[in-house]
Amino acid sequence: MDDRKLKVLAAVVDEYIRTGEPVGSKTISQLEHIKASSATIRNDMAVLEQLGYLEQPHTSAGRIPTYLGYRLYIDELMTLPELSDEEKKMLDERLGDADTPEELLVQNAAAALTELTQCAAVVTNSAPRFSVISKVEVIPTGKRLYVILLITSNGNIKNKACRLEFDLSHEQLDFFTKYIDENLSGISVDELSEEMLDKMIAAVSAYMVTLSPLVKGICELSADLKQQELTVSGGEKLLSCDDLDKMEVVRFIEHKHELTDLLEESFSGIQVKFGAGGNFAIGNSSMIVSKYRRNGEEAGSLGIIGPMRVDYKKIIPYIEYLTGKISDLMSGDEDNTVTDADFTQT
């Protein structure tokens, strides 16, 4: 494609994002930076349609971008504006400061994105798997019933009820608590292997086989901690969007955990994924996410899910700034400047 056709494609995408209506050649020919007749633009749009970047929803209508058209637009044609000082100040005020708890920082960022973009916000928290086990408690709660509390260094608490064959004596409970404390305290959640836990089950069972369900309960809790915690807020924004199929949105909300594996993929900078590619359950949708970090280590992801016709030029700088700011606050470095992100399209 020549330069003019690329400009035409970019103009069609910009106009369609702005209006939501098919774009005609006359509209594009009136743009100052195009400098071509309506007939020439019409021929260019026909070529772009043949190449799969545009489509014509009705015979007499203008064109709209396809999935491939959006991808080329984001990958090569889009120029992102810089946030103004006023916008940065507004985001800083919504986000919080170095004294704001980390979980609240991310919640505030998600709430700001939902309000500013009118899209659903998606957040994952990878922190538990990188945290350290600080305490394990076993609390008797009834006849042969015990609750295990597993507490991590970042304040995350998991609990599980276990029913044993016999009530434990104080001596047996003290033995188990001491053994678990000596073998798990200070261990990274990510280091908890099946082999390590199997050895613990065998060691405890050698003392008293009745205790093995408690170790198995700890195994299940540690497996939960290794999973990313995923939340989607503002789902009502998706349900009220005319561009999206409401039944697909409902199915997505019910099975949003399926996004976890998708978001665990390693990437840097901003990532743009399209539902049209079969990545997640909502067709004609897009997801824009970026990871935030603590001291250089991945701590989670933040972004939005909305129609494919979202304002990428507006939303991407918001996400880029917020994830950069969260990373700085979590790392105790508020002076870092947020740099332009790389893009990954899928």
Domains of the chain: 3-77 (1.10.10.10), 85-126+228-345 (3.30.450.40), 130-226 (3.30.390.60)
Q: What pLDDT does 180 receive? A: 82
Q: What pLDDT does 222 receive? A: 74
pLDDT band per the 50, 70, 90 thresholds, residue 340: very low
State mean pLDDT over 171-195: 81
Which amino acid is residue 234, in one-letter code?
G
Residue of 49 and 172 predicted with greater confidence: 49
CA distances from 59 to 44, 63, 119 (A): 17, 10, 31
Which pTM does this prediction carry? 0.74
pLDDT digits (tens, 9 = 90+) for 131-159: 778 888 888 998 889 998 888 776 677 88
pLDDT digits (tens, 9 = 90+) for 289-322: 999 988 887 888 999 999 999 999 999 999 999 9
**If phi over 0 gives left and psi between -120 and 50 gives alpha, with beta otherwise, what is residue 269?**
left
pLDDT digits (tens, 9 = 90+) for 222-250: 777 766 678 889 989 999 999 999 999 99
Smallest Cα–Cα separation from 315: which of 292, 333, 290, 281? 290
**Residue 170 burial by CB count (10 A; 0-12/13-18/19+): exposed, middle or buried?**
exposed
Give the C-alpha separation, 222 to 75, whole Å: 40
Share of the chain above pLDDT 90, in %: 44
pLDDT band per the 50, 70, 90 thresholds, residue 337: very low
